[in-house]
Structures are given as C-alpha cells and as structure tokens.
C-alpha cells in the first residue's frame, strides 16, 4: 500500500455490533482516517453513526461503493464478503474481512498482529481476521509456543452471547428477564434457551462429531503458527455471558516449562495482561475482560497428569467484540499503513 498521511476507510456492516465497534476503535486509536464511508444494507440507509464528533450517514453497500477507498473493513457475513471481494480488489482497496469466507485460502493471510504480523505482506487484496476464539487463544498461546514449542492444545471455550452479534446479546437479556418473570421462552438466535443455561453447540456439526467452530481452532491455529503438525482438540460452549469469551487450555510443549517460565514469557508479550494471583482471588473473568483490548491470562499451573514437566494449564478471557473482531481488524490496518 502506498504511504499516505490520510486514508479513505470503508466499514461494511457498519450498523452491526462489530461494525459499530470498528468505528469506535478507529477513533480511539487515532487511525489516520481522511474519509470514512459507512456501508450496510438498504434497511440501514439514513441511520447515522458518530465519528470524531460528526454524524456520518450510513450508505447502501453497493459494488461501486469502493472507488477511492484504501481499506475496507468487512463485518457483514461470509456471503456478503464473497459477493463484494472482487469489487473491493478491483477498486484498488484492501479488504480486511471479519467473516469465515477466506480464512483458509492459501493466498489470503490470516493474521493476529501479536502472533504473525509478517504474514500481512503476502496479501493479494484480502486479509482475513481469524475466528474470535482463535484470536483470543493465540494471543496467549503464541508467546508460549515461541518459548517452548507447542505440540498439542486441548481447548474448552466459554463463549459469550456477543459471538452471535447484537441479536445474541439481546436474546440473552430478554430471556433472562423472561425466566425471572416466569414467562415462556422461544429461542431464535440460539438452538436452545441461553439464559441460565450452557449450550455445547456453536456452528454446524460435521461428520466427525466436531462443529465448524471447533475445527476453526485447529485449522486457524496451524495456519497462523505455521505449525502443520500441531495437534488441537476443542469443545466450544455458549454460556450466558453478555460479552467476552473465555477459554480453558491444556498445553503440551516440546520441552519442559514451569509456571514461572510461562509467566516470564507472557509478562512482556504484546496484548497479554497477566491476572494470576489465586491467593488474592485474581484470575481472568469475562466481566473484567469486557471493554479491554488485552487478553487476560491466569490460573497458570503445571499439568499434574504428566511427569515430564512439559504440560501447563491456564485460563484466559478476552473481549470477543473488541480484540476478537474489531480491534484485531484495525490493528491489521495499522500494519498496512505502517
């Protein structure tokens, strides 16, 4: 991308939960936006979103929307991203896509800036944002992989309603009131009632019994860590938390690693905040991670099921809407303009 002092930025899916957050992050991080174009479906045309004190009107997303645009942040769903990819690239813009549409394509970099920033340079007009749980997990795991060589990862996720967007968060809040008022509940966004419940089902089940969401953790981690032989197994669970995902991790390394060594590796890692003092009841929790750009990491302990010192357990929490989506996309854009 040609070096400029100001860039024309488009946000597609601007009225969704992640799109709104993208606009906020662009302002908070003082991204060099010369012009901002907010794009959404025809239903949202005429709505306004504030940016740097001004009300910017939402325009309809069209194939000619990207003339003069340098960077297009997409959070409108995989089908929309696929439909508009060529229009974005033909206009000379770079698409940073938050959907699953292009993540596993060989010529599309899949990037978490704290993990594999160098991969950005290999783009051909499209860069993919990883799945939210994978982003949060790898921010914590990548420094340990660099230090000790990750061989196997067992992940159990505790994914907030925010993973299903604004509709998911609204459904949790509405159902919570309905349960407390003893009113009937009719789930729509989730397969079952989410209020006061856990649902071990996110995305579509595959023939091997895993869901697509669980296989994303495997495939995306291998791609970003450049570790084709990495062994990963994952169970993804939707929990009645409004915002911020958490993950319980069991990690096996190529060499022995103590909790003290892990804390040292994590203490200086970008995007990580150590919250690891069980005696003082300090550990990662989604209520604390919400609204934070950092991933909280704690409950670091030796895996006592092993006798070789090569296993660690830890617990992490990260804001799915922020670091798991909007912030990561803007950080990729920052690498592009640097």
> What span, in angstroms and rounded, lies between the C-alpha atoms of 265 and 247?
19
> What span, in angstroms and rounded, lies between the C-alpha atoms of 176 and 67?
45
pTM > 0.85: yes or no: yes
Backbone torsion region of residue 305, taken as left when φ is above 0, otherwise alpha when ψ lies between -120 and 50, otherwise beta = alpha
The reply to whether 118 and 150 lie within a common domain is: no
| Mean pLDDT in residue range 292-315 | 98
pLDDT digits (tens, 9 = 90+) for 11-46: 999 999 899 999 999 999 999 999 999 999 999 998
Taken in order 233, 110, 273, 141, the sign of the CA dihedral is: positive
| Domain region containing 331 | 7-130+325-337
Task: Tell me the C-alpha to C-alpha distance, in Å, between residue 326 and each of 29, 97, 173, 196.
Answer: 12, 10, 23, 28
Residue 70 placed within a domain: yes
Backbone angles phi, psi at 50, to 5 degrees: -75, 140
pLDDT digits (tens, 9 = 90+) for 163-215: 998 899 999 999 999 999 999 999 999 999 999 999 999 999 999 999 999 99
Residue 191 placed within a domain: yes
Residue 1 placed within a domain: no
* Residues known to be catalytic: 132, 245
Q: What is the CATH number of the domain that holds 204?
A: 3.30.360.10
> What span, in angstroms and rounded, lies between the C-alpha atoms of 219 and 212?
10
């Amino acid at each position: 991308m040609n070096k400029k002092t100001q860039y024309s930025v488009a946000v597609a899916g601007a009225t969704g939960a992640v799109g709104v957050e993208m606009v906020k992050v662009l302002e908070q991080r003082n991204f060099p936006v010369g012009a901002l174009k907010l794009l959404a479906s025809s239903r949202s045309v005429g709505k306004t979103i504030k940016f740097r004190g001004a009300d910017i009107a939402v325009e309809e997303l069209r194939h000619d929307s990207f003339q003069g645009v340098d960077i297009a942040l997409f959070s409108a769903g995989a089908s929309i991203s696929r439909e508009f990819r060529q229009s974005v690239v033909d206009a000379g813009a770079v698409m940073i896509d938050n959907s699953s549409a292009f993540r596993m394509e060989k010529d599309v970099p899949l990037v978490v800036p704290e993990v594999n920033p160098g991969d950005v340079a290999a783009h051909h007009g499209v860069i993919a944002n990883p799945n939210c749980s994978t982003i949060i997990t790898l921010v914590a795991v990548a420094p340990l992989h660099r230090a000790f060589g990750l061989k196997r990862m067992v992940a159990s996720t505790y994914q907030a309603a925010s993973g299903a967007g604004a509709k998911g968060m609204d459904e949790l809040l509405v159902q919570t009131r309905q349960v407390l008022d003893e009113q009937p509940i009719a789930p729509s966004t989730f397969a079952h009632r989410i209020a006061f419940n856990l649902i071990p089902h996110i995305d579509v089940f595959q023939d091997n019994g895993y869901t697509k969401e669980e296989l994303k953790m495997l495939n995306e981690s291998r791609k970003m860590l450049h570790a084709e032989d990495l062994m990963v197994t994952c169970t993804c669970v939707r929990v009645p938390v409004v915002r911020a995902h958490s993950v319980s991790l069991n990690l096996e390394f190529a060499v022995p690693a103590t909790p003290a060594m892990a804390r040292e590796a994590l203490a200086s890692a970008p995007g990580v905040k150590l919250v690891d003092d069980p005696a003082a009841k300090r550990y990662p929790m989604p209520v604390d991670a919400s609204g934070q750009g950092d991933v909280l990491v704690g409950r670091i302990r030796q895996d006592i099921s092993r006798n070789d010192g090569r296993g660690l357990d830890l617990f992490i929490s990260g804001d799915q809407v922020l670091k798991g989506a909007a912030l990561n996309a803007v950080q990729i854009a920052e690498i592009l303009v640097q």
